[in-house]
């Protein structure tokens, strides 16, 4: 069988997950802790960037394989094509956030406050890049470009199924599109990570931040790929996907979990060792105010995949792969929580919080200075569900976005044969041995 039908339980579960997400977001809006709706918008930003990045990484890996003449994954490349279809929805979500930033419907970013920028030499020095105009039009142009490339590659792949000859003209065209996309993605993904995520902590920057976030996207994409293949195989599909293919995906999960740790530790160690006040505030704040998540981040995203997948045979067992994939996927979602929420909380407090709005600005500005400029004192600890740790509304929002992602992926998967029959490397993939 080479065709997936999206119906029954799978459709019910994904629609149910989306309903949970919508309800969670509505509750976040109407039961939010502050009149700026920072919890709502930060949850939107958290999940919007996380799932868009996963989708983009699926397309990125297709482009890498095509450009590198790699055929091992040809048998299931339609899964990555289907995952990349979500980029259109991610594009829409990020445009909503960009419009909200442009029209000052949210206060996610300190640099979006013109009065604060005028008084702050650091923000004033960054305003040519950190400004609402570039945020909106940069998102529109760059993510729109990702979507256009993804749709073009998908159309060529589907058209290749109908080829009668063996000249592989469409595959050669795919190689050209892939080669063009890779350098565009290399720069534009970093620029968007700086804009969407790193600029939440506007006074701070790191040359490794974009690598850290991009690898987190990639590992999460591999986790979802493994889980989707296990699901499809449980339905009697993709019998051609063998233990060898799953072993290779397990190796990618193992290797890039280590690479993510290398990126995380390199960023942390260099900043800690240099001990420059302007840099240390970022990690000092997270270590002191978010200790459980700070250390759990390493345990979940490094220690678990490292020790479970170290054995060669573990990477061949679907149960072990599924367990690690679920744990690591949630772990990287928490990684993004730690990237976003602390900075949003400080920015929110700088604009006032509930009844304390009139008096909170000065105190919060001091907190911003402490964290942004790396002073040795950290802002006073205030525990808040949704900011200090994810609450039920955060988990519900994630479930909703995940449900939409799976819904879009399975819908796209059902609209084409599961195996691209005219892929020039299909025979190599079908007889793949590690």
Least confident of 158-167, 172-181, 405-414: 158-167
Q: Which residue has the tokens 């350098």?
A: 183
Name 434's Cβ contacts closer than 8 Å, sequence gap at least 6: 244, 247, 248
pLDDT recorded at residue 99: 97
Residue 189: pLDDT over 80 = yes
Residue 156: pLDDT over 70 = yes
Residue 197 DSSP one-character state: T
Mean pLDDT of 57-85: 96
pLDDT in tens, 303-318: 999 999 999 999 999 9
pLDDT in tens, 200-246: 999 999 999 999 999 999 999 999 999 999 999 999 999 999 999 99
In terms of Cβ atoms closer than 10 Å to its own Cβ (0-12, 13-18, 19+), residue 401 is: buried
Distance CA 180, CA 67 (A): 10
Q: What is the DSSP string of 99-165?
A: HHHHTTS----GGG-HHHHHH-HHHHHHTTTSSHHHHHHHHHHHHHHHHHHHHHHHHHHHHHTT--S
Task: Evaluate whether 217 touches 247 at the Cβ level (below 8 Å).
Answer: no
Please state, rounded to an integer, the average pLDDT across all residues of the chain.
90
- For the chain, give every domain's residue range: 9-416
pLDDT in tens, 314-334: 999 999 999 999 999 999 999
Distance CA 132, CA 40 (A): 19
Compute, in degrees rounded to 10, the torsion defined by CA atoms 26, 28, 31, 33. -160
pLDDT recorded at residue 277: 85
pLDDT recorded at residue 359: 31
Residue 44: pLDDT over 60 = yes
Residue 433 DSSP one-character state: -
Predicted confidence band of residue 278 (pLDDT cuts 50, 70, 90):
confident
Distance CA 94, CA 101 (A): 10
Mean pLDDT of 110-138: 94
- Collapsing DSSP to helix, strand or coil, 385 comes out as strand
Predicted confidence band of residue 287 (pLDDT cuts 50, 70, 90):
very high
Consecutive H or E run containing 425: none
Among 97, 136, 46, 112, which Cα is nearest to 386's? Answer: 46
Distance CA 423, CA 75 (A): 9
Distance CA 248, CA 260 (A): 18
Predicted confidence band of residue 162 (pLDDT cuts 50, 70, 90):
confident
pLDDT recorded at residue 356: 32
pLDDT recorded at residue 360: 33
pTM summary value: 0.92
pLDDT recorded at residue 366: 41
Distance CA 433, CA 243 (A): 9
Residue 166: pLDDT over 90 = no
Mean pLDDT of 87-110: 96
pLDDT more than 90, % of the chain: 81
Distance CA 209, CA 327 (A): 23
Name 57's Cβ contacts closer than 8 Å, sequence gap at least 6: 214, 217, 218, 220, 221
* H runs (alpha helix) in 161-208: 169-196
Predicted confidence band of residue 167 (pLDDT cuts 50, 70, 90):
confident
Among 338, 330, 332, which Cα is nearest to 283's? Answer: 338
pLDDT recorded at residue 381: 56
Of the two residues 381 and 75, the one the predictor is more confident about is: 75
Mean pLDDT of 406-430: 93
Distance CA 37, CA 108 (A): 10
pLDDT in tens, 336-391: 999 999 999 988 887 643 333 333 333 334 444 444 444 333 444 578 889 999 99
Task: Evaluate whether 108 touches 101 at the Cβ level (below 8 Å).
Answer: yes
pLDDT recorded at residue 434: 57
């Amino acid at each position: 069988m080479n065709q997936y039908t999206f119906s029954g339980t799978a459709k019910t579960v994904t629609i149910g997950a989306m309903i949970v997400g919508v309800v969670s977001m509505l509750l976040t809006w109407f039961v939010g802790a502050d009149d700026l709706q920072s919890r709502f918008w930060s949850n939107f930003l958290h999940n919007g960037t996380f799932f868009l990045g996963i989708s983009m990484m699926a397309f990125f890996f297709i482009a890498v394989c095509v450009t590198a003449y790699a055929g091992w994954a040809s048998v299931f490349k339609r899964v990555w094509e289907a995952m990349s279809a979500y980029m259109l929805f991610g594009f829409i979500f990020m445009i909503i956030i960009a419009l909200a930033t442009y029209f000052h419907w949210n206060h996610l970013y300190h640099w979006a406050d013109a009065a604060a920028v005028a008084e702050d030499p650091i923000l004033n020095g960054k305003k040519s890049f950190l400004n609402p105009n570039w945020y909106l039009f940069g998102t529109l142009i760059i993510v729109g470009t990702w979507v256009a490339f993804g749709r073009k590659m998908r159309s060529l792949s589907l058209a290749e199924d109908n080829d009668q000859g063996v000249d592989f003209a469409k595959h050669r065209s795919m190689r050209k599109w892939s080669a063009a996309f890779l350098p565009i993605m290399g720069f534009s993904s970093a620029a968007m990570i700086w804009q969407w995520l790193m600029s939440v902590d506007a006074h701070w920057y790191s040359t490794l931040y974009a690598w850290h976030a991009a690898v987190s996207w990639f590992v999460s994409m591999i986790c979802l790929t493994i889980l989707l293949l296990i699901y499809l195989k449980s339905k009697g599909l993709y019998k051609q996907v063998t233990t060898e293919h799953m072993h290779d995906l397990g190796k990618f999960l193992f290797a890039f979990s280590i690479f993510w740790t290398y990126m995380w530790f390199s960023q942390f160690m260099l900043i800690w060792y240099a001990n420059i006040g302007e840099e240390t505030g970022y990690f000092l704040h997270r270590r002191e105010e978010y200790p459980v998540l700070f250390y759990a981040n390493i345990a979940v995203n490094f220690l678990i995949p490292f020790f479970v997948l170290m054995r060669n045979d573990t990477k061949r067992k679907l149960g072990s792969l599924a367990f690690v994939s679920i744990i690591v996927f949630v772990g990287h979602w928490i990684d993004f929580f730690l990237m976003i929420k602390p900075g949003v909380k400080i920015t929110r407090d700088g604009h006032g919080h509930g009844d304390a709005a009139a008096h909170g600005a000065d105190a919060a500005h001091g907190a911003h200075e402490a964290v942004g400029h790396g002073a040795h004192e950290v802002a006073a600890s205030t525990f808040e569900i949704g900011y200090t740790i994810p609450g039920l509304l955060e988990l519900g929002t994630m479930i909703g976005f995940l449900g939409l992602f799976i819904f879009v992926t399975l819908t796209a998967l059902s609209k084409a044969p599961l195996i691209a029959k005219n892929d020039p490397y299909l025979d190599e993939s079908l007889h793949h041995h590690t």
